[in-house]
């Protein structure tokens, strides 16, 4: 019995000593600005929150390795973002974005955060988000060949996501729920819930993965918040708290 207990303790210590890897993806970048606000670009907001989240993890979680898809204002192809996470054998993938609506020059009053996991969109607004985020592939050369004829603007192209069986779905949804809870309690943001959509960057990862929308950049108040030191810190802290809770 003592030998069994000793062996069990040894295995547990070995597991706990193994590095846990998280891949942080700052959406858009370089020639791809993402959604546009009144005075800022989505790519800048995404990067600021991604870097702060990474700093918090690196500072407070010594057993965790942080991998970034980008740390500067550069363009990274969508399939390459997933490849970076897969190559690093990441245990978790989080893609950071800011939302937008099709409102006119006056902007929108729509506000709040939401988190997406891979799946078939059940609502028109979820399809709109997927189309907007996936359209970035059209900036890549030979995107038709790279993505096997996938057309991000065609609703028919998204039928494939109905057929995909995501083995990481339960873990992804659990992490997404934790993120939304932290956005609501830590950052005091409006909770717009957890959703599913056909997002290519999530489809190509081999680990639990989520995509977060930090707020609406064409909402004047939210844009100001997402560009402030306080807003960046609170949003990153929310994601950090969610990561710690999920990892436990």
CATH 3.65.10.10 fits 19-188+196-247, yes or no: no
Which residue, 79, 76, 113, 80, is CA-closest to 97?
A: 113
Q: Given this model, what pLDDT does residue 90 score?
A: 96
The number of residues making up the chain comes to 248
**In angstroms, rounded to a whole number, what is the distance separating the alpha carbons of residues 168 and 105?**
40
Q: What DSSP state is assigned to residue 19? A: P
pLDDT digits (tens, 9 = 90+) for 30-77: 999 999 999 999 999 999 999 999 999 999 999 999 999 999 999 999
Q: Given this model, what pLDDT does residue 122 score?
A: 58
Q: Given this model, what pLDDT does residue 121 score?
A: 60
Residue boundaries of the structural domains of the chain: 19-188+196-247
Is pLDDT of 7 > 90?
no
**In angstroms, rounded to a whole number, what is the distance separating the alpha carbons of residues 139 and 76?**
10
Is residue 177 exposed (0-12), middle (13-18) or buried (19+ Cβ within 10 Å)?
Answer: middle
Q: Report whether 137 contacts 152 (CB < 8 A).
A: yes
- 3-state secondary structure string, 70-85? CCCCCCCCHHHHHHHH
Kindly report the CA angle at 190 between 175 and 102, in degrees rounded to 5?
A: 100
Tell me, yes or no, if the pTM score tops 0.85. Answer: no
Q: Report whether 134 contacts 212 (CB < 8 A).
A: no
Backbone dihedral region for residue 174 (phi beyond 0: left; psi -120 to 50: alpha; all else: beta) = alpha
Q: What is the mean pLDDT of the chain?
A: 87
pLDDT digits (tens, 9 = 90+) for 111-134: 999 999 987 665 566 667 777 787
Q: What phi and psi values does residue 39 have, to the nearest 5 degrees?
A: -140, 0
pLDDT band for position 156 (cuts 50, 70, 90): low
């Amino acid at each position: 019995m003592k030998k069994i207990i000793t062996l069990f303790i040894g295995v547990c210590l070995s597991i706990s000593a193994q590095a846990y890897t998280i891949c942080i993806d700052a959406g858009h970048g370089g020639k791809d600005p993402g959604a546009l606000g009144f005075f800022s670009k989505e790519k800048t907001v995404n990067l600021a929150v991604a870097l702060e989240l990474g700093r918090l993890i690196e500072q407070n979680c010594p057993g965790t390795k942080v991998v970034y898809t980008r740390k500067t204002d550069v363009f990274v192809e969508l399939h390459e973002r997933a490849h970076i996470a897969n190559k690093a054998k990441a245990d978790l993938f989080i893609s950071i974005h800011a939302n937008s609506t099709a409102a006119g020059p006056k902007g929108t009053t729509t506000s709040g955060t939401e988190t997406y996991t891979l799946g078939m969109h059940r609502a028109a607004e979820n399809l709109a988000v997927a189309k907007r985020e996936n359209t970035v592939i059209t900036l890549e050369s030979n995107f038709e060949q790279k993505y096997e004829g996938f057309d991000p603007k065609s609703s028919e192209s998204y039928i494939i996501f109905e057929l995909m069986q995501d083995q990481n779905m339960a873990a992804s949804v659990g992490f997404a729920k934790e993120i939304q809870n932290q956005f609501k309690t830590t950052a005091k943001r409006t909770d717009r819930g957890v959703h599913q959509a056909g997002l290519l960057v999530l489809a190509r990862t081999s680990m639990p993965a989520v995509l977060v929308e930090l707020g609406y950049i064409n909402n004047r108040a939210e844009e100001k918040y997402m560009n402030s030191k306080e807003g960046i810190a609170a949003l990153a802290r929310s994601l950090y708290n969610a990561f710690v809770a999920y990892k436990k």
